[in-house]
Structure 1
Amino acid sequence: MKVCHITTVHPAQDARIFYRMCRGLAAKQIPVTLLAPDWFQEEPSLRPSTWNRRLGRASRPRRIGVALRAALAENATLYHFHDPELIPMALTLKALRPSAVVVYDVHEDYPSMMLEKYWLPRRLRPTASTGIGMAHWAAGKFLDGIVTADGAVAEDFAKFAAEKIFCFYNFPSMDVFAAAEPAARSADLVYLGGMSERAGTFLLLDALARLARQGSRPTVRLAGYTDGEKGRAAVTEGIRARGLGSQIELAGRLAHARVPEWISAGRIGLVPLQAIAKFQKNIPSKMFEYWACGLAVLASDLPPARRFVSSGENGLLFVAGDATDLAEKLRSLLAKPDLVQAMGRNGRRQIENQWNNEKQIDGLIDFYRRIAARRQVTKLTPIDVTGSQTANSRGGWNSNQ
């Protein structure tokens, strides 16, 4: 089976696409080509498309056409694409190559996400949300498979594509998050992800200001993206206005390979998301990365986190949007370092035993097999070590046309 992953928006070394999926499949000796707008070094069973540089040079509107031509040139058995704007391309690809299996990966609750896009005029947001909802309906009806990152998003698709869905959670890869106790945990608190009002950044700053007035100034590491330059300026000013500059280290977006070392310097990982529609469904991947690095987790009490945070065992929940409760939970945890350390160990153990990418990859391969069999496109057979004609010399699965 030849698999081609496609994105025109995400970088080639995106955490979900490259590290979790493409590398995970390649580790199982399944040949993977990644079509993305930048280059990377070829690895065993994983190579960049020869079209990547051309895709990167194209303007964003033109990338859809380039991606379609590249996908046809790759002549894959299964195409797995990652951007909602590529749904028209995928439907066209399906029409031109009806024998191929085409899968749409829904990274986020995009209809809800459109309602919060800062760069989109407010009057246009409901229309954009409805438009993506209609595109999702078409993808569910006419494509071969739907992969989601969250159970709640999968439930949305189940209304019209129940037999085509697989939920691939953003669990950490054990080869990236290898167990290693840092020389010193120099920061009390760590936050990794988007920094904005909706992400709870200013709620966190308010809670830290409350603690400061009580004489407690924990050290904090913040890293991630903002809503453009204005967004970063707002975060910087928020820190300055609250007098928190001496205790906060502010960094930008981190390459995925740097994340484990950066997180591991902390003791408590923060997930202060606000109770907006998107965060009622999307599971924050940072939560699992904190646990993979041995941190306790303090998260907003929202349905996605509630499923994984066992209060007092691997972390605590606080009332979403309540800076007073967040400050109180922080004060409580900071006063109990032994409990925090035990929570971090418990979280790491759960990652090792169940919430890891290696287990997810087995499920994804099985999903590929099932939808391919349903399409009667290809019969996947396990490697034959006796050397018969169905065996692939590089291992893994073969496609018998």
Structure 2
Amino acid sequence: MSGRADVAVLTSGHDAADARLHRETAALQRRGLAVEVLALGASSDGPAGATVRTWKRGNPVQRAVHAASLPWRTRAGTVITLDPDMAFMTVLHRLLGPGRGRRIVADVHEDYAALLGDRAWARGIAGLLGRAWARLGSWAAARADLTVVADKHLLPAAPRRIVLSNNADLSFLPAPADPEPQPRAIYIGDIRSSRGLDAMIEAMRAAPSWTLDLVGRVSTAAARELLERVEADHDLGGRVRVHGQLPPRQAWQLAQGAWAGLLLLEDTPAFREAVPSKLYEYTAVGLAVVATPLPRVVELLQTWGNGVVCASAAEVAEQLRSWASSPTDLTSLHEAARSWRAGTPDEPTELAAFASAVKALSVKTSS
């Protein structure tokens, strides 16, 4: 058992370095709440000022056992869950009696069922089990004291629901910097094929004057194999750098001086309706954005004026080569990104509303 925190963030699948976890924790701390985080990875990567306890990532059975145990491992009166299995286990813990009186906040930041279409393992029995967990997680999230969703299309029928989109918390991001002399792109996020890894590597191969920094967890065996081949490639190995997952502030320091941020998501059911946090964050640090033609991403880039849309790796490479030969073509895109940042509050309005709502729940629990 831990000491009593006001709020505990529980996750069976997210690393302590997860950016949304950091943003939520910081917002709660700004309102005077003591927060503890129970997550995966290294405790040193957790949010500053929080009590952080971590575990190693396990297989699916170990994850299920871990999720079942986490509600017992905190004495906090209010808990925030970040995963479908975690939401279900926490609601079940309350229904069975031990967690009676505890307030539950379920953070649903992805369409769990649609996301399974992006997972190679989600076939056959594993896919059936995954879809069952997705349904149970959605059922539990709708029965939480507060359902937090990353987009308006998620769980629209939940009775106590607020939207917390993946907008940028500027306190985690450096100010825009002048581009470095040599062309450099950056990608920050989960590293896998469906999020553009193959396309990024192919584009780098065809744009030899560019370098690329990849920051994030390498999430699949196929991605690891690809990056091992890249490392062994005499040309690409020196131009593609893999940094692993880093806490948000450290990760975004690497964006300073880059020319462009890459957002090459495949057109999967989960991504088609989403607005990734990277779109806001690349823009907030003053980068041009190169994105695939997902409808909502295209709409925002057209509004903000700081990006281009490319339908293939070949088009990405062509755009990068064009910028390398004429860097001044990037000037208007960088200026548009800086203009967007100048008009953006340090703390997003939705994040402030989320933190205030959780504080109100916490006060009710303690009274």
- Fold agreement, TM-score > 0.5: yes
Question: Distance between the aligned counterparts of 1:238 and 1:43, measured in 2?
Answer: 32
The secondary structure found in structure 2 opposite 1:7 is strand
Question: Distance between the aligned counterparts of 1:43 and 1:254, measured in 2?
Answer: 12
Question: Distance between the aligned counterparts of 2:166 and 2:324, measured in 1?
Answer: 28
The secondary structure found in structure 1 opposite 2:165 is coil
1:327 correspondence with 2:317? yes
Cα distance, 1:194–1:281 mapped onto 2, change above 3 Å: same
Cα distance, 1:228–1:331 mapped onto 2, change above 3 Å: same
Question: Distance between the aligned counterparts of 2:12 and 2:144, measured in 1?
Answer: 19
Counterpart mapping for 1:283-362 below 5 A? 283-310=275-302, 313-319=305-311, 322-354=312-344, 357-362=347-352
Structure 1: which amino acid aligns with 2:113? P
Q: Deviations over 1:297-325 (max 9, x none)?
A: 11111034124212782111222xx2333
Q: Deviations over 1:241-294 (max 9, x none)?
A: 795445433433333232122111311111111111221133222222222222
Q: What do you get for the CA RMSD once the two structures are aligned?
A: 3.4
Structure 1: which amino acid aligns with 2:168? P
Question: Distance between the aligned counterparts of 1:254 and 1:35, measured in 2?
Answer: 17
Percentage identity across paired residues of the two chains: 20
1:199 correspondence with 2:195? yes
Of residues 3, 9, 13 in structure 2, which corresponds to 1:5? 9
Question: Distance between the aligned counterparts of 2:57 and 2:302, measured in 1?
Answer: 47
Q: Is the 8 A contact 1:202 1:238 kept in 2?
A: no
Question: Distance between the aligned counterparts of 1:114 and 1:43, measured in 2?
Answer: 29
Q: Is the 8 A contact 1:170 1:357 kept in 2?
A: no
Q: Is the 8 A contact 1:111 1:128 kept in 2?
A: no
Structure 1: which amino acid aligns with 2:118? E
1:113 correspondence with 2:115? yes
Question: Distance between the aligned counterparts of 2:332 and 2:37, measured in 1?
Answer: 40
Q: Is the 8 A contact 2:16 2:43 kept in 1?
A: yes
Structure 1: which amino acid aligns with 2:203? A
Gaps of 5+ in 1: 380-398
Question: Distance between the aligned counterparts of 2:204 and 2:325, measured in 1?
Answer: 15
Report the CA distance between 1:102 and its aligned residue: 0.9
Cα distance, 1:311–1:362 mapped onto 2, change above 3 Å: closer
Q: Is the 8 A contact 2:212 2:239 kept in 1?
A: yes
Of residues 164, 168, 192 in structure 1, which corresponds to 2:160? 164
Question: Distance between the aligned counterparts of 1:147 and 1:7, measured in 2?
Answer: 15
**What residue in structure 1 maps to residue 271 of structure 2?**
279
Structure 1: which amino acid aligns with 2:349? K
Q: Is the 8 A contact 1:172 1:355 kept in 2?
A: no
Structure 2: which amino acid aligns with 1:117? R
Question: Distance between the aligned counterparts of 1:57 and 1:298, measured in 2?
Answer: 32
Of residues 66, 69, 75 in structure 1, which corresponds to 2:69? 66
Q: Deviations over 1:84-119 (max 9, x none)?
A: 22123221233234543211112322212223323x
Counterpart mapping for 1:380-391 below 5 A? none
**What residue in structure 1 maps to residue 93 of structure 2?**
93
Q: Is the 8 A contact 2:16 2:47 kept in 1?
A: no
Structure 2: which amino acid aligns with 1:349? S
Question: Distance between the aligned counterparts of 2:249 and 2:351, measured in 1?
Answer: 19
The secondary structure found in structure 1 opposite 2:118 is coil
Question: Distance between the aligned counterparts of 1:85 and 1:243, measured in 2?
Answer: 43
Report the CA distance between 1:188 and its aligned residue: 2.7
The secondary structure found in structure 2 opposite 1:147 is strand
**What residue in structure 2 maps to residue 147 of structure 1?**
148
1:14 correspondence with 2:24? no
Q: Deviations over 1:339-396 (max 9, x none)?
A: 42332232233234237544333121344367x4xxxx956xxxxxxxxxxxxxxxxx
**What residue in structure 2 maps to residue 131 of structure 1?**
132
Between Structure 1 and Structure 2, how many residues are aligned?
357
Report the CA distance between 1:210 and its aligned residue: 4.1
Structure 2: which amino acid aligns with 1:136? G
Structure 2: which amino acid aligns with 1:2? D
Structure 2: which amino acid aligns with 1:347? A
Q: Which structure is higher in RCO with an 8 Å CA cutoff and minimum separation 6?
A: 2
Cα distance, 1:192–1:13 mapped onto 2, change above 3 Å: closer
The secondary structure found in structure 1 opposite 2:90 is helix
Name the TM-score, length of structure 2 as normaliser: 0.82
